[in-house]
Structure 1
Amino acid sequence: MTTLRPVPRRRSVAGRGRVRRTGPDHRNDRPTRPGLLFVPSALTILAICAALTAMRMADADRVDLALLLLVVAAVLDGLDGRVARMMGVSSRLGAELDSLADAINFGVVPAIMVYTVLLRDESDSLQGIGWVLTLIYCSAIVLRLARFNTLLDDDSAPGYTRDFFVGVPAPAAAVMVLLPIGLREQFGEGWWTGPVFVGCWLVFIAALAVCRVPTLSFKSTRLRARALAPILILVAAMAALLFTFPYVLMIILVAAYLIHIPFAWRMQYWVRTRPEYWETAPRDRRHARRDTRRAEVAAGTRRRVIPVRKSSARLGLRQPAAAAEPRPRD
């Protein structure tokens, strides 16, 4: 008869990490290898280097290369967090480094690029005002990132708040603040490159970043199966514009983002005033809004807007039936 011997428990050795346990309940309880922590942080450092090099290229009047490097920095900044989660090496150091990288890549560098390309060659007084407005934008982005980090630690926030940003996020603000440069590269000099418009635009984007206007967080958006084909066609069109008319694509994206803000505010207001939907999924909330509108229209409490259509006779498409038949004579 075979006797079962108890498996001795491994002891932890100083400097060797945690105790590695075996069994179905401890499959993910593995020591983190220090070498893996290097990969996400390296991507973040590369993003910072690309953004700072973009600032140098803008100073050398190589705007196309500067914007390309800024796009590379944005891509690397988006990859570092995903790589850290995939590898299971998320750390407090990586989170702090990522926040500092966002402040540099989307706050300092775009503002300095706008000042270097559009405001530096003005008179001394306009240069001073432009520099003050540049500092205002940088400070607004830093404050926006600090508020974002604070809201992440708020466990008492309702569930629907994960579907919205408070203010315009830093990457979107960076693209929007570079719009005057894109207009200059696409259409040449004009009122959009003047110091008045550029200064007002800097203040406007800074205000959008620090205000409490809700904007959609597309991370929680789920695509339906029937929307997959139109989305793929849209992505193909955007890719074609990116390689042929990149600045036109930039203008379209900025305009579309500005247009979506009132709709995001309306969606956030609807769910904020209905606590019973705070913890539901966005798709369920959309169905609830649709059912509510239909019920209001059926009950007559909601005014239904009926479009005014011109008759085909007025448009000259066909002769009306009443006019085609001869009228009886007296």
Structure 2
Amino acid sequence: MARNAPGVRLLPNAITVLALCAGLSAVQFALNGQLVLAVGAIGVAAVLDSLDGRIARLLDATSRMGAELDSLSDAISFGVAPALVLYVWLAEGSRIGWVAALIFAVCMVLRLARFNTLLDDTEQPPYSSEFFVGVPAPAGGLLALLPLVITVEFGTGWWSAQPVVWIWTVAISALLISRIPTLSLKTVRAPAKAVAPLLVAVGLLAAAIIQYPLIALASAMVLYLAHIPYALRRHRWLARHPEAWEVPPRERRAIRRARSQRRLGLRRPQFRRVAGAARRAVRRPRPEQPHVAHTGRVYPAESAARMGDRTPRRRNWRRLGLRQRGDT
């Protein structure tokens, strides 16, 4: 079947619709009190959202309709659904909780609108494809549910108090519309030597998700938050070094190390120069010592100065343990 066949072009859009259904089902699970299934449904929506775009590019089935459908699905699955799940879980009937839920949904829609606008911007630097502007929609939807995940796994605590949850929700909303750069996994290229360790890591991750799904999800969200300072530092470094924009990561590391050595005032040792200078310093005779010719005569320092260039050089026969012809 050809790549541009109708069935192939329909597949990415079908995955997007499935992600939309998973996000809406999370609200239904929350209404029934099935909080674990609600979190799992939004997690499934995040996995499907990461697949539809890659499959569309792989099959050469990208379209304007698919892009618009993907944005609408993200707005519902990661904006509306998490806000409603949190509202049903903790603050049903609370005005402050509803305001926080509205703020989160609106910020998610604004974040997606800016993302679509940046796709048509041709004046961005080459390294901009390695970063997202702000926290992406799937990560933001899952980060908002972090207090719920911790509560389901470890029970109630300070993390499940209403003020803490709503402050957390507003903080994640601010990250969605912020200009803070975050790393994009779309441009990550694993070297050939790292394929086997990565496959082992994937197996361990799958085992952790099967045995401890909520703990694995909470750990992943904490690690994602911890990577933001690194992403910000890397973005600033690339902005200051245009020579590293279009080079592979290995050469970027070499440039970074070279500039670090130059900033610290370090340089490579000149072994040949040091050895030559030391050899000349050893061979240079001292003025207060008498000069001994190869004939065995001793010349005082004044006589050596008068002789000048006629003073015979001291040879290394005795240093090597050899006798010169005529020595007794």
Task: State the TM-score, normalizing by the size of structure 2.
Answer: 0.76
Matched, 1:268 2:241: no
Q: For the structure 1 residues 32 and 239, does the alpha-carbon distance in structure 2 shift closer, same or farther, using more than 3 Å as the test? A: closer
Count of equivalent residues: 266
Work out the CA distance in 2 between the residues paired with 1:233 and 1:87: 28
Contact 2:107–2:174, Cα closer than 8 Å, also in 1: yes
Per-residue CA distance 1:82-141 (angstroms, 9 max, x = gap):
222233221111111011111111111111111111222xxx5xx101111111111111
**In structure 2, distance between residues paired with 1:140 and 1:31:** 37
In structure 2, C-alpha distance between the alignment counterparts of 1:136 and 1:168, rounded to whole Å: 16
Partner of 1:102: 74
The 8 Å contact of residues 18 and 48 in structure 2, kept in 1 or not, is answered as yes
Please name the residue that 2:166 is paired with. Answer: 199
Instruction: Look up the SS of the partner of 1:151 in the other structure.
Output: helix
Tell me the SS of whatever aligns to 1:222.
Answer: coil
Q: What is residue 232 of structure 1 aligned with on the other side?
A: 199
> Residues 88 and 31 of structure 1: is their aligned pair in 2 closer, same or farther, counting only changes over 3 Å?
closer
Return the alpha-carbon distance in structure 1 between the equivalents of residues 150 and 7 of structure 2.
Answer: 45
In the superposition, relative to structure 1, how do residues 297 and 223 fare at CA in structure 2: closer, same or farther (>3 Å)?
farther
Aligned partners of 2:42 and 2:142 also within 8 Å: no
1:48 to 13, 17, 20: 20
Question: Who is 2:99 aligned against?
Answer: 132
Identity of aligned residues (%): 46
Instruction: Give the TM-score taking structure 1 as reference length.
Output: 0.75
Q: Aligned with 1:189: secondary structure?
A: coil
Q: Distance in 1 between matches of 2:209 and 2:16?
A: 25
Cα gap change, 1:220/1:83 in structure 2, threshold over 3 Å: closer, same or farther?
closer
Counterpart AA for 2:59: M
Q: Distance in 2 between matches of 1:146 and 1:270?
A: 28
User: C-alpha deviations, 1:18-69, integer Å up to 9, x for none?
Assistant: xxxxxxxxxxxx9944444322222211211121111101110111222222
Structure 2 counterpart of 1:161: 128
Could you say if the C-alpha distance between residues 240 and 143 of structure 1 is closer, same or farther in structure 2, counting changes exceeding 3 Å?
A: same
After superposition, residues 208-247 of structure 1 pair within 5 angstroms as 208-247=175-214
The alignment partner of 1:299 has SS state of coil
Measure, in 2, the Cα distance between the counterparts of 1:284 and 1:235: 27
Partner in structure 2 of residue 80 of structure 1: 52
- Whether the aligned pair in 2 keeps the contact of 1:160 and 1:280 (CA below 8 Å) is no
- Aligned residues of 1:47 and 1:72 also touching (Cα < 8 A): yes
Unaligned segments of structure 2, at least 5 residues: 268-328
Q: Offset of 1:249 from its aligned partner?
A: 1.0
Give the root-mean-square deviation of aligned CA atoms.
2.0
